[in-house]
Amino acid sequence: MLKYLVILLDDTAVSYCHYENTKTEKRLISLDDLKAGVLFAMKHNLTIQFVYPDYELPAPHKEAIETIDHIKMMSSENSQNSDADVIIFQSDKSFTREKIDKNREKILVVKSSKKALSGIGKIISENDGKITRLNLVLTDIETFTEEDFAAYKQFLEKIRETVEKQYRNGQIPQINLLTDRILLEKMNNCNAGVENITLAPNGKFYICPAFYFENEEDNIGALSSGTDIKNPQLYRLEYAPLCRRCDAFQCRRCVWLNRKTTLEVNTPSHEQCVTAHLERNASEKLCNDLKSAGYFSDKEIKSVDYLDPFETIEKF
Q: Please name which of 219, 201, 216 lies closest in space to residue 34, comparing C-alpha atoms.
A: 201
Per-residue x/- track, 69-88, ligand SF4 (CB under 6 A): --------------------
Q: Which is nearer to ligand SF4, 87 or 287 (CB)?
A: 287
Question: To the nearest whole angstrom, how small is the minimum distance from the Cβ of residue 131 to ligand SF4?
Answer: 25
Question: To the nearest whole angstrom, how small is the minimum distance from the Cβ of residue 247 to ligand SF4?
Answer: 8
Q: Contacts with ligand SF4: how many residues (CB under 6 A)?
A: 12
Question: Which of 175, 273, 282, 287 is close enough to bind ligand SF4 by CB under 6 A?
Answer: 273
Dihedral angle, C-alpha 256, 258, 259, 260, nearest 10 °:
80
Map residue 48 onto helix, strand or coil.
Answer: strand
Question: To the nearest whole angstrom, how small is the minimum distance from the Cβ of residue 183 to ligand SF4?
Answer: 16
Region from 24-32, 164-172, 194-202, 241-249 binding ligand SF4, contact rule CB under 6 A: 241-249
Q: Does 268 bind ligand SF4 (CB under 6 A)?
A: yes
Q: Which is nearer to ligand SF4, 6 or 248 (CB)?
A: 248
d(CA 33, CA 41): 12
Q: Does 309 bind ligand SF4 (CB under 6 A)?
A: yes
d(CA 189, CA 256): 13
What is the distance, to the nearest Å, from the Cα of residue 73 to the centroid of all Cα atoms in its chain?
A: 12
According to DSSP, the residues that pair with 50 across neighbouring strands are: 7, 72
What is the distance, to the nearest Å, from the Cα of residue 203 to the centroid of all Cα atoms in its chain?
A: 23
Q: Please name which of 79, 72, 150 lies closest in space to residue 117, comparing C-alpha atoms.
A: 150
Q: Does 243 bind ligand SF4 (CB under 6 A)?
A: yes
Question: To the nearest whole angstrom, how small is the minimum distance from the Cβ of residue 146 to ligand SF4?
Answer: 17
Q: Does 272 bind ligand SF4 (CB under 6 A)?
A: yes
Sign of dihedral through CA atoms 55, 57, 62, 65? negative
Q: Does 220 bind ligand SF4 (CB under 6 A)?
A: no
Count H helices and E strands in the chain, helices first. 9, 11
Question: Which of 36, 183, 222, 242 is close enough to bind ligand SF4 by CB under 6 A?
Answer: 242
Region from 60-68, 72-80, 89-97, 239-247 binding ligand SF4, contact rule CB under 6 A: 239-247
**What DSSP string describes 242-294?**
TGGG---TT----HHHHHHHHS-TT---HHHHHHHHHHHHHHHHHHHHHGGGT
Cα separations (Å) of 20 from 138, 229, 253? 11, 23, 17
Question: To the nearest whole angstrom, how small is the minimum distance from the Cβ of residue 271 to ligand SF4?
Answer: 10
Question: To the nearest whole angstrom, how small is the minimum distance from the Cβ of residue 315 to ligand SF4?
Answer: 14
Question: Which of 246, 255, 282, 287 is close enough to bind ligand SF4 by CB under 6 A?
Answer: 246
Q: Which amino acid is at 16?
A: Y
Positions in the binding site for ligand SF4 (CB under 6 A) = 242-243, 246, 248, 251, 253, 268, 272-273, 276-277, 309
